[in-house]
Structure 1
């Protein structure tokens, strides 16, 4: 590259890099700095306490329980969402049979794609309102009303979905999966459409069934899309603040009795309610480190040789 080209490229990169450092990197550095102090949030004076906030953090039973809840979300949200999205995408693109004996999606697949994608256009606030009505703890709730009509639940003692310690996490998991499947279905569908139909037709001629076509053709050729989806869903599972704070009981959510607590809700409660801002910043740093570890681990664990066609 000639000398003039270096200046040209550097001129274009200077502004975006400066903005990124100012609005992304610098806040992270500030947060780490505050995590080493006893900052109260509103005060302009604070003192350096070293790693005391981090020591207290790992002795905090509520925060450690919140980490465990995030780990459960980290396991189940990507797994269930990707499996459902892959299944629906496969059926809508190559799961049917055309009259000419070729490869096609199931009948009405173009309409199903719109229906499946519809939850993705809703904001998380709207989702919280909708599923708040679904999970209402009386007979007026959609889920309890249906179970009462079927005779599976007593009308005098309906299930309190968001107030039962053993059910609340699974109820939230359903919301996240319902919201995410449509987006990843479209992502996987776009990747499947780039796979030549000749490959599937050759497999059909050789007598391959749907399951063999999926595991021997579709999944290997979609692996990079699956890897990307897993990373994004893992990052979402490490957050969960909006749904937990709006759908569960308690200040900034986490109820009942901290059984739906996640790291973000504990952090926001300490920052905004208790005025322990330095302590909350330490939680934010731990969240950042854990999210980076999850992302790197996922990318390395799912790495495989590129399959070309």
Structure 2
């Protein structure tokens, strides 16, 4: 009995600092966001006015909110699908194929993940430059030097896709490493048996690899949602500022401007509540849809 109590105290003292930090820096601020969303407040004075649900009513009548939400959802879909596909493909190639310099490729793919968003934004802003950028220079090889330059960050129709390109480049290496770690644990004997049965590499990928790393895939799908919402704010701030004409305004960027630029802190917190509920609901739906029986080997 004494041993059990002593072990319980040890676990309690080990977990207490982490729990305290979690409550202080996550739980309490989250509750405060919900509380402040019910007030009209500029953020810099003590003059607060309780307005109930008026901030939410104003929010759902705002065209800017719907545009920002639409841009955020579009980025979530584009970035998640393309990053997921390429990360799986590269992870499979570097795990199963006998390539020369595999470790070199792993490092190269992972480098974008350790770079600052500001650095990546500067790199892609230079690539997208309409006059001296690498992308237009490459296209001119096929179109001719006198062709009209494409405004990758200035055309409302394509700027969101240009932004997505930078985000995908930054994220692929991280998820590739996660998938490689899971694939490395799959016994080679399963693939050898499939070879003997005449299964192609593509069939092996979808019938062996995908099912056996499905738990990891489900986890990363949630990461895709959260990271895309967070990273889109950083990339938009560094590359476009929400322009041109709101074409890249994402929900967190809109929240920041309302709360800290337009001195509508309560309204900004209402946007934060919607983002929180949207992220939580989308992650829950994805987990429910992708739930399947766990496979063991």
Q: Distance in 2 between matches of 1:116 and 1:5?
A: 44
The TM-score, its normalising length taken from structure 1, stands at 0.91
Partner in structure 1 of residue 206 of structure 2:
215
Deviation for aligned residue 1:180 = 1.0
Partner in structure 2 of residue 100 of structure 1:
none
Name the CA shift for 1:108/1:4 in 2 (closer, same or farther; >3 Å): closer
Q: Distance in 1 between matches of 2:226 and 2:143?
A: 40
* Equivalent position SS for 2:44: coil
Partner in structure 1 of residue 90 of structure 2:
88
Q: Distance in 2 between matches of 1:10 and 1:109?
A: 44
Identify the structure with bigger relative contact order (alpha carbons < 8 Å, sequence gap 6+): 2
Name the CA shift for 1:282/1:92 in 2 (closer, same or farther; >3 Å): same
* Equivalent position SS for 1:207: coil
C-alpha distance after superposition, 1:282-305 (max 9, x if no partner): 111111111111221122211111
C-alpha distance after superposition, 1:160-215 (max 9, x if no partner): 11111110111111111111111111111111111111111111111111111101
* Equivalent position SS for 1:275: coil
Report 1:124-135 matches (<5 A): 124-135=117-128
Name the CA shift for 1:4/1:119 in 2 (closer, same or farther; >3 Å): closer
Partner in structure 2 of residue 108 of structure 1:
101
Q: Distance in 2 between matches of 1:264 and 1:179?
A: 19
Q: Distance in 1 between matches of 2:175 and 2:158?
A: 26
Greater helix share, 1 or 2?
2
Q: Does 1:264 align with 2:252?
A: yes
Q: Does 1:303 align with 2:291?
A: yes
Please tell me whether the aligned partners of residues 244 and 254 of structure 1 are also in contact (alpha carbons under 8 angstroms): yes
Deviation for aligned residue 1:86 = 0.8
Q: Does 1:121 align with 2:91?
A: no
Report 1:48-67 matches (<5 A): 48-67=50-69
Name the CA shift for 1:133/1:49 in 2 (closer, same or farther; >3 Å): same
C-alpha distance after superposition, 1:50-101 (max 9, x if no partner): 000000000010111111111111212111111111111111221x3xxxxx
C-alpha distance after superposition, 1:3-28 (max 9, x if no partner): 55444433333332222111111111
> Which ranges of 4 or more aligned residues in structure 1 deviate by more than 2 Å?
1-16, 105-111, 149-155
Q: Distance in 2 between matches of 1:59 and 1:154?
A: 46
* Equivalent position SS for 1:238: helix
C-alpha distance after superposition, 1:232-265 (max 9, x if no partner): 11112223101011111xxxx1111111110011
Q: Distance in 1 between matches of 2:144 and 2:186?
A: 46
Q: Distance in 2 between matches of 1:76 and 1:211?
A: 24
Please tell me whether the aligned partners of residues 221 and 308 of structure 1 are also in contact (alpha carbons under 8 angstroms): yes
* Equivalent position SS for 1:131: helix
* Equivalent position SS for 1:150: helix
Deviates more, 1:161-170 or 1:68-77: 68-77
Name the CA shift for 1:281/1:5 in 2 (closer, same or farther; >3 Å): same
Aligned-pair RMSD on alpha carbons? 1.6
Q: Distance in 2 between matches of 1:255 and 1:153?
A: 28
The TM-score, its normalising length taken from structure 2, stands at 0.94
Q: Does 1:201 align with 2:192?
A: yes
Please tell me whether the aligned partners of residues 144 and 153 of structure 1 are also in contact (alpha carbons under 8 angstroms): no
Structure 2 residue corresponding to 1:79, chosen from 75, 78, 81: 81
Please tell me whether the aligned partners of residues 147 and 153 of structure 1 are also in contact (alpha carbons under 8 angstroms): no
